[in-house]
Chains A and B, each alone.
Chain A
Amino acid sequence: MKKVFICLLLGSILLCGCKVKESKNNLKENPKKINDSYVFTVQNNDLVLGSYFDLKKLGKEKKYSETASCAFEGIDKTYTYDHFEVTTYPKDNKDIIGNIYFLDENIKTKEGVGISDSIDKVIATYGSNYQQEGTLFKYQKGDMELKFIIEDDLVTSIEYALIV
């Protein structure tokens, strides 16, 4: 019986010692591998969701805003540039790119699709392996999505987003 008790006790202690499963809010290793993700290229800089955001690369933003979470520490930061917006969230005291949002027609994805382009161009560029939810067309690569809102066969919104 002593053996059973020792086994149970050891079991509890071992359970405590198990490595915790990463929460979904925790990011995986950084930097991200580029071939796992869609890449947004601007001013010859590649921005990859899930990797650290190097603020210096893009120059001074036009607008900067912060939003806090309801309970947890750390703030999401949004940097607005002329034609797009980058939103980061904190991890290990660094800012991780969580979202890139196009603000107008004067910017395109690395593959050449922009706001006002046709749905045909989107499908010709990214293929027909997309998920559709109403006007939303989503392409997934790794743990990120490239999202197009398409209305009247035209792209009206483009966003790169981490899957949460």
Chain B
Amino acid sequence: MKKILIIIVFLMIFCLLNKLVMPKYMTNLKEGNMTYEYYKEDKNHEVIFLGDCEVYANISPLTMYENYGITSYVRGNSQQLIWQSYYLLKETLKYEIPKVVVFNVNSLRYDKKVSEAYNHLMIDKMKWSKEKIDLIKVSLLENENFLYYVFPILRYHDRIFSLTKEDITYLFKEKNNTYNGFLVNKKVKPVSNLPTKRKLSTYKFQDNVLKYLDKIRILCKKNNIKLVLMKAPSLYPYWYQEYEKQVRDYASKYNLDYYNFTISTNDIGINYKEDTYDGGLHLNLNGAIKLSNYFGKILKEKYFLKDYRKDDKISSIYNLKLKEFKKEVE
């Protein structure tokens, strides 16, 4: 009995230490909480947006709801690579089957694992599932170990000496940082100069990337989901013509709709002097609202989405969300 008690106490201390040293992603690096916030949602979304920072910074689901009654969620993370998008979509489909999945094509340019830090932002707070295990396996960099994701203390043990107030405040509680996956940024930093457009050794999307694009397409098809491709407005990193042609060819080959918003900024009304928070890489709140209004209309009309403002149950949930959203943005 004593032995069991000792083991239980040890396990409790071990679990507590793991929880304590794990970054909380509440007030600093809020992007690390995005994957987790989805689990707290009512799973009733007709549209799921999938991709990297170009979706969570640029698409405001609550704007789409307010103006068109669309229910949607952004499952996007910083530097979310296409294989990560695939597993996140697979996980999403365990909870709900949306009518439309919109995949932002920016990540097609990246065929290599980029950063351990970005891996952790996306994966740390993902619920354990087969998808998470597969996702970790495909995301691991050479210097990483699978166990780092199982036992955060192995990765973050140094944090024990640099714990912050946030680590204590949010040890046992959570808060949402996004609105249906949209991370609000109200700063304005106009476009000034951009680095020179560089010559690349190849502009061809790599086989590994296209393999996962196929997987996403097939997964959607199997579940009777309309897959739509989009390229969010951005001035940098450059979206080369060679990229554009490959996406158009792919969309045409598989009869997918593709919207490149980098070339329709005038129609959307985006002004890069005031609608970006980082000099043209991402839209700020104003820019995101403009894009969401513009794209929401297309989604609503083209894919015959239901107006959930007329649905008592859904509208009561969304009206609360809208109230919070308005409070923050106004």
Contacts and interface: CB of A to CB of B under 8 A. Distances in A.
For the residues of A in contact with B, the DSSP-based class is mixed
Contacts of B129: none
A69 B57 CA distance: 13
Given A12-B13, A135-B201, A149-B201, A80 B153 contact: no
B78 A101 contact: no
Contacts of A140: none
A116 to B, nearest CB: 13
B281 A68 contact: yes
B156 to A, nearest CB: 8
A15 interface: yes
How large, as a class, is the contact surface on chain B? 35 or more
Interface stretch (B60-68, B188-196, B243-251, B257-265): B188-196
Contacts of A101: 196, 198
B82 interface: no
Contacts of B146: none
A64 B193 contact: yes
A68 B278 contact: yes
A112 interface: no
Contact of A16 (B118, B157, B194): B157
B21 A16 contact: yes
B9 interface: yes
A134 interface: yes
Interface in A5-45: 5, 8-9, 12, 15-21, 23-25
A80 B196 contact: yes
Interface stretch (A46-54, A70-78, A118-126): A70-78
B162 to A, nearest CB: 10
Contacts of A2: 6
Interface string A131-149: 0011110000000000101
Nearest to A66: B279
A52 to B, nearest CB: 20
A16 B160 contact: yes
Contacts of B123: none
A24 B112 CA distance: 14
Residue of A65, A156, A164 with most chain B CB atoms under a 10 A cut-off: A65
Nearest to B56: A70
A149 B201 CA distance: 6
A80 B157 contact: no
Contacts of B201: 133-136, 147, 149, 157
A101 B200 CA distance: 12
A115 to B, nearest CB: 10
B264 to A, nearest CB: 23
A75 B2 CA distance: 55
Contacts of B21: 16
Given A12-B17, A18-B158, A23-B117, 19 more contacts: A2-B6, A8-B10, A12-B14, A16-B21, A21-B143, A23-B116, A24-B115, A63-B193, A67-B194, A67-B278, A67-B281, A68-B279, A70-B78, A70-B79, A71-B29, A71-B78, A80-B195, A101-B196, A136-B202
Interface of A: 1-2, 4-5, 8-9, 12, 15-21, 23-25, 63-72, 78, 80, 85, 87, 101, 103, 133-136, 147, 149, 156-157, 159, 164
Interface of B: 2-3, 6, 9-10, 13-14, 17, 21, 29, 31-32, 52-53, 78-79, 114-118, 121, 141, 143, 153-154, 157-158, 160-161, 192-196, 198-202, 236, 278-279, 281
